[in-house]
Amino acid sequence: MSDYTVGDLVAEFVAACGVRTAFGIVSVHNVPLLDAIGRRNAIRFVPARGETGGGHMADAYARVSGGLGVLITSTGPAAANAVPAIVEARFAGSPLLHITGQTATRFLGRDAGTVHDVPGQPEMLRATGKSCLRIHRAEEAFGVLMAAASCALSAPMGPVSVEIPIDVQRAPVERPSALDDLRLPVRPPVRPLAADLDDLAKRVCDVKRPMLWLGNGARGAGPAVRRLLDLGFGMVNSWRGRAIVPDDHPASLGAMHGSGVPRIEAFYDTVDLMIVAGSRLRGHETLDNQLRLPARRIHVDIDPCAAGRTYTSDMFVCGDTSLVLEGLADRLEKAGYRADPRLATDLATTRREAYEQYRATLGPYQSFPEQLRTAMPRDTIFVRDATVAGSTWGHRLVPLYGERDSVHSVGAAIGLGLPFGVGAALAAAQEGRKALALVGDGGFALAMSELWTAIQEKADLTIVVMNDGLYSQIAHIQDVVAGGRRFYDRLEQPDLMELAAVAGLPARRVRGADEFGEAVAEAISRTGPSLVEVDMHTIGPVPPAVIVTGVEKKA
């Protein structure tokens, strides 16, 4: 009988996929898997304090590393705890491989009351992720793992779960020789039709002031985008598509759009064509699809279902965004196309005025974006929870320079920032980079236990907590929709400086706006985790920026 088991196969397979760090919690229904990972000692396993936090760490690790994120959980309640992270990874299009245990095969589907058995677990995971597969027999383990990893990494990318019953994990199996030089059968990019590219180029040649809106699906299209910018195009990013071309490129509006930027809408009125490339045009960024975009629009996406999903378009081009934009650039360069040179001047003016208009709404926090950007090294990974600071000036006013420099809560849930920061920091450290997580006190409280994961793993992470003692975003919404009646929005929190002292964590409390940048710079210069608390009670309340049913109310 072979000493090589399915657990060994999983451990070797994950490493062969290029994964260097995995996350999760050891438990009764995954001991053989994690025993194999520990014995092989080929990858780092990070024991999170909860499956939700571990899943968010694996998600952020995937976004920053550009590879596969791996979460390993037990079955039943543990798999259920992973669901919030799976949901966020689905929102973000992150290639997450979730490997979960399962009850022994003789009990499957019987509702026999075995430990942790949830008969509907596959349906739960399938409903929230991209796919859910099960390994029924040892002999099919390699094929199922190949299919799962390939599905997660094939565009549009997303989270895939694999269930492995506990007896199958222990079962002996022949080692696949394909592991010696593993090649995942990831689906090739969808090539656009030449006729569609010809039509697209003709439409562009008929206009003078074209813009690109780049979303997550345009990652990797930077070289093609630069060619179009050289022809006079302007561009703007979605929040998930930050810095496909660095934000300091003169033809970029960065992420200056969405709520609070009326100057942008006025500029869009002068744009005669917008090409939306690989973006859903999410509601948070478009005032629930009421943001006034240019009247003529072309949508490019790998998913045919994207056509007309949010905004209508004059033309839909199905294909890999890089290939579409490369084909467009080829045709425009051959035709000698040049956009109106006044577009670049108008865009620069718009960006400057929109930035100042938006910054002026931040009250005592007007200087925070610039202070933060100055304090962070250029290649720092910038993580944002769905706190007011992250969702307003964090998204719009802090320029980013690399397409893997940004991690945020795409689904707008709170509590993700701290575990995101841990996963991002561990991925960044492999390239000698730093990470900073901007979180609110409410979100920090939701994930506070993962602070000890950061400490145990010595994550090179600066945690900035904006502390005002309430769910301020919800309070602002209550002001609009509930006549100013604020119920259940106040939070009792531990003293964060005392908490840091208990944890042995370097920490500093900021009581004045002008102290912020210095405190962040000091923290980020350290090795390992550190904490900066912004005392908003002394600095002042954050001005509200609330979107309710598509209508913004701003003080």
- The pLDDT, as a whole number, for residue 260 is 60
Instruction: Say what the pTM is.
Output: 0.95
465-486: per-residue pLDDT in tens? 999 988 887 888 888 888 889 8
Same structural domain, 53 and 155: yes
How far apart are the C-alpha atoms of 401 and 462, rounded to whole Å?
Answer: 19
Residue type, 293: L
pLDDT value of position 488: 85
Determine the average pLDDT of the residues in 181-188: 95
Low-confidence winner among 107-111, 313-317, 358-362, 511-515 (lowest mean pLDDT): 107-111
Q: Give me the CATH number covering residue 65.
A: 3.40.50.970
- Please say which residue of 354, 383, 413 terminates a domain: 354
Quick one: 377 and 323 in the same domain? Answer: no
**Which pLDDT belongs to residue 440?**
95
- Band (pLDDT 50/70/90 cuts) for residue 516 is very high
Please report where in the chains the tokens 């990470």 appear, as a residue: 435
Tell me whether residue 536 is in a domain.
yes
Residue 546: pLDDT band by 50, 70, 90 thresholds?
A: very low
Average pLDDT, the chain: 93
What's the pLDDT at 304?
93
pLDDT tens digits for range 321-353:
999 999 999 999 999 999 999 999 999 999 999
34-46 pLDDT tens trace: 999 999 999 999 9
Res 26 pLDDT > 70: yes
Which band of pLDDT confidence, cut at 50, 70 and 90, is reported for residue 261? confident
Q: Would you tell me how many other CB atoms lie within 10 Å of the CB of residue 393?
A: 24
Residue 187 lies inside a defined structural domain of this protein: no
Tell me what the mean pLDDT of segment 423-427 comes to. 98
What does the pLDDT read at residue 471?
82
Task: Examine residue 234 and state whether it is found in any structural domain, yes or no.
Answer: yes
Is there a domain that residue 233 lies in?
yes
Model confidence pLDDT, tens digit, residues 49-101 = 999 999 999 999 999 999 999 999 999 999 999 999 999 999 999 999 999 99
Judge if 388 and 494 occupy the same domain.
Answer: yes
pLDDT at 247 over 80: yes
Please give the pLDDT value at position 480. Answer: 83
Q: Do 348 and 447 belong to one domain?
A: no
Same domain, 380 and 512: yes
- Chain centroid offset of residue 388 CA: 17
Answer whether residue 360 is part of any domain. no
Both 156 and 199 in a single domain?
Answer: no
Predicted local distance difference test score (pLDDT) of residue 478: 86
Whole-number pLDDT of residue 484: 86
Give me the mean pLDDT over the 140-169 stretch.
Answer: 97
Same domain? 339 vs 387? no
* Arithmetic mean of pLDDT, 480-501: 89
pLDDT for res 481: 86
Q: End of a domain among 354, 377, 411? A: 354
For residues 254-272, average pLDDT:
86
Last residue of a domain, one of 130, 149, 181: 181
Q: Give the count of domains, the chain.
A: 3
DSSP alpha helices (H): ranges in 341-484?
342-359, 368-375, 388-389, 395-396, 417-429, 441-446, 451-456, 472-481
Q: Which of 141, 87, 92 is nearest to 282 (CA)?
A: 92
The secondary structure of 121-154 as a DSSP string is HHHHHHHHSSEEEE--SGGGHHHHHHHHHHHHHS
My answer on whether 169 and 207 are in the same domain is: no
In a domain, 42, yes or no: yes
**Residues 203 and 273 reside in one and the same domain:** yes
Q: Is residue 467 part of a domain?
A: yes
Q: State whether 515 and 393 are in the same domain.
A: yes
> Side chain identity at 244, as an amino acid letter?
I
Extract the tokens encoding 110: 């019987």
pLDDT score for 547:
43
Domain span holding position 372:
367-554
346/273 Cα distance (integer angstroms): 15
Least confident window among 108-112, 394-398, 548-552: 548-552
Same domain, 199 and 176: no
Q: Which string of DSSP letters, residue by residue, matches 48-88?
A: -SSHHHHHHHHHHHHHHHSS-EEEEE-STHHHHHHHHHHHH
pLDDT tens-digit series, residues 112-150: 677 777 888 999 999 999 999 999 999 999 999 999 999
CA 72 to chain centroid, in Å, comes to: 20
Indicate if the pLDDT at residue 401 is higher than 60: yes
CATH label of the domain that carries residue 313: 3.40.50.1220
In-domain check, residue 70? yes
- Same domain for 215 and 163, yes or no, is no
Q: pLDDT band for position 259 (50/70/90)?
A: low
In the chain, the percentage of residues whose pLDDT exceeds 70 is 97
- Residue 549 binned pLDDT confidence (cut-offs 50, 70, 90): very low
